[in-house]
Structure 1
Amino acid sequence: MTDLDVDVLRTAYDRQLRARPPEPLPPGVTVERDGPLLRIHGLDRGGFLTYENLGGLTGAALDELIARQRDFFAGRGQEVEWKLHGHDEPADLADRLRAAGFVPEDRETVVIGPVAPLAATLPVPPEGVRLREVTSRTDLDRIAELKSAVYGGDWTWLADGLARELAAGAAQPREVPDSSPGVVDLDVAVSGPPLVVVVAEADGELVSAGWVRFVSGSGFATLWGGATLPQWRGRGIYRSLVTYRARLAQERGRTLLQVDASDASRPILLRLGFVAVTTTTPYVYTPNP
């Protein structure tokens, strides 16, 4: 693993991160299994479909599986995202999703990097910017406003989802890491919440934000967010948020970081030592009003 073998990393990603429900499960969230799929709803504005693999399903059987998910969420009047990976089989899965009414959104690159070298680097934001861990609803609402300013649209649902995750994490018992080979080091791991949210502020203005999830029973911490106001980009804020969260991951005994990287963040992460292992494209079905 020290040589960052792409095939090994992709296999670890499939086995340790995919087809997993949120942990701990916030109240009101439902996880159901339909064949090889996990169907998750009640977490935020819509539903989510994930799997490690489709178990060799092809043809009419696969079309029926896809149609059941579409019809389930259509009946609820909710959109649903099918997270399609570049190495998923069968090869015509994307075509079958489109035929069922799912629409592809922007493709991202799944990148994985080692924790240790990043954690050894001090997170140094530019002068006048400070990093702070947050849990209050006021700060979460500010993050939603930041995302709206950067990407447009109404991101209120994000604050709701993060608040529920933080509350569920605060109520859970101490983490007990898995003792299987290749996962968390039992001699290193320490207790802590499964989600940590970090913001970057300048003169009281929120200029960037990101969060880290610690996946139980795995060697991974996963990084999310990273939205930065346009006028603050190119100053090292995103990099400092990455290294800050890497240090948190090291404290918790994790050895690998994973990110679904946008086209903007991918070059930064590759320079920091991450490697690309696959791609991921959200295929979204939206019911007619």
Structure 2
Amino acid sequence: MPTGDLETRAERLREVLETPRRTFIPLPDTQVIERPGWLQLITPSLRQGGLNEVAYSALDEKEADAVIDETLEQYRRLGLRFRWTVGPDCRPADLAERLERRGLRRNETLGMIRGTSVPASPEGDITVEQVDEHTVEEYSRTMAEGWEMDPEPITAFNRMVLTHPGRCHELFLARYRGMPAGTSGLVTFERSVYLLGGVVLPAFRGRGLYRALVTARLGYAAGRGIPFATVHSRASTSGPLLERFGFETLCRFPIFTND
């Protein structure tokens, strides 16, 4: 894989772990709680997920249990689905075990990177298009169905994404024979794009739609001179697919959820 201006493994690892922490666009009710060693989002209007997470936590070992319990209680009190990412740079060393003991569900995650290129466009029955104001509702319904979420708040959020000043998010809708079948997104940074939100509806899986969504986003990045794509993928689902698509796994870490 070409390294471009990310010459060392440490530089690539920072791009995989640290840069994606700034992918969020806050809603009016989003609380961004940030201090040294801590980045957390709370968004009461998105009860089923999104903008509710602990993205980074480097805690003092003696204070960790109290901070964990307080944080979990915040989300429980508001009735929010959330996630807690425990990357290799999080602390204390047994943070994952402490969260697991409190009943959170552990999902093994791969931090991955690859160079961008101009891949072949999908052929035949598959098309992938960038979403605009005319297709955002169709995209949002498809996304909500794939993730089993209420489409109304997702639609409102996606409309905001498309009109946000200094927009760096792009949304992609995949169709199979003209029917909406899958969705994904990306966030653009100086040296990389971060891929997120890829989902294919069950009725259309196994037809190459996931690959088409990946290659469309790689092509988007390559066309703008952005040399790398990064992703956090589930080790049990998308991770093996992305490895076959040329992504290199730089690290492995758990993400915890309360569902």
TM-score category, normalised to shorter length? 0.7 to 0.9
Q: Per-residue deviation at 1:29?
A: 2.1
Please say if residues 223 and 259 of structure 1, whose CA atoms lie closer than 8 Å, have aligned partners that are also in contact. Answer: yes
Change (3 A) 1:78 1:231: closer
What is the rounded CA distance, in whole Å, between the counterparts of 1:130 and 1:12 in structure 2? Answer: 30
1:31 is matched with: 32
What is the rounded CA distance, in whole Å, between the counterparts of 1:231 and 1:75 in structure 2? Answer: 36
Secondary structure of 1:106 counterpart: strand
Change (3 A) 1:79 1:128: closer
Superposed counterparts of 1:122-201, under 5 Å: 122-125=120-123, 127-135=124-132, 136-148=135-147, 153-156=148-151, 157-167=153-163, 169=164, 172-173=165-166, 193-201=167-175
Change (3 A) 1:204 1:14: closer
Q: Relative CO higher for 1 or 2, CA cutoff 8 Å, sep ≥ 6? A: 1
**How well do the aligned residues superpose, as a CA RMSD in angstroms?**
2.8
Deviation string 1:32-72 (CA, Å, 9 cap, x unpaired) is 22542112122732521112x61x621x2122222221233
Q: Per-residue deviation at 1:231?
A: 4.6
1:187 is matched with: none
1:203 is matched with: 177
Please say if residues 87 and 278 of structure 1, whose CA atoms lie closer than 8 Å, have aligned partners that are also in contact. Answer: no
What is the rounded CA distance, in whole Å, between the counterparts of 1:265 and 1:39 in structure 2? Answer: 25
Q: Per-residue deviation at 1:21?
A: 6.0
Change (3 A) 1:98 1:266: closer
1:224 is matched with: 196
Q: Which runs of 5+ in 1 are unaligned?
A: 174-192
Pairing 1:258–2:230 present: yes
What is the rounded CA distance, in whole Å, between the counterparts of 2:140 and 2:255 in structure 1? Answer: 25
Amino acid aligned to 2:232: D
1:16 is matched with: 19
Deviation string 1:194-253 (CA, Å, 9 cap, x unpaired) is 1111112133311222111113xx412111233223453333322222121112112333
What is the rounded CA distance, in whole Å, between the counterparts of 1:234 and 1:203 in structure 2? Answer: 15
Superposed counterparts of 1:81-120, under 5 Å: 81-86=83-88, 88-99=90-101, 101-115=102-116, 119-120=117-118
Secondary structure of 2:111 counterpart: strand
Pairing 1:49–2:54 present: yes
Please say if residues 33 and 39 of structure 1, whose CA atoms lie closer than 8 Å, have aligned partners that are also in contact. Answer: yes
What is the rounded CA distance, in whole Å, between the counterparts of 1:77 and 1:266 in structure 2? Answer: 30
Change (3 A) 1:98 1:75: same
Q: Which runs of 5+ in 2 are unaligned?
A: none
Amino acid aligned to 1:133: Q
Secondary structure of 1:95 counterpart: helix
1:185 is matched with: none
Between the two proteins, the alignment pairs up a number of residues equal to 248
1:181 is matched with: none
What is the rounded CA distance, in whole Å, between the counterparts of 1:21 and 1:250 in structure 2? Answer: 19
Amino acid aligned to 2:98: R
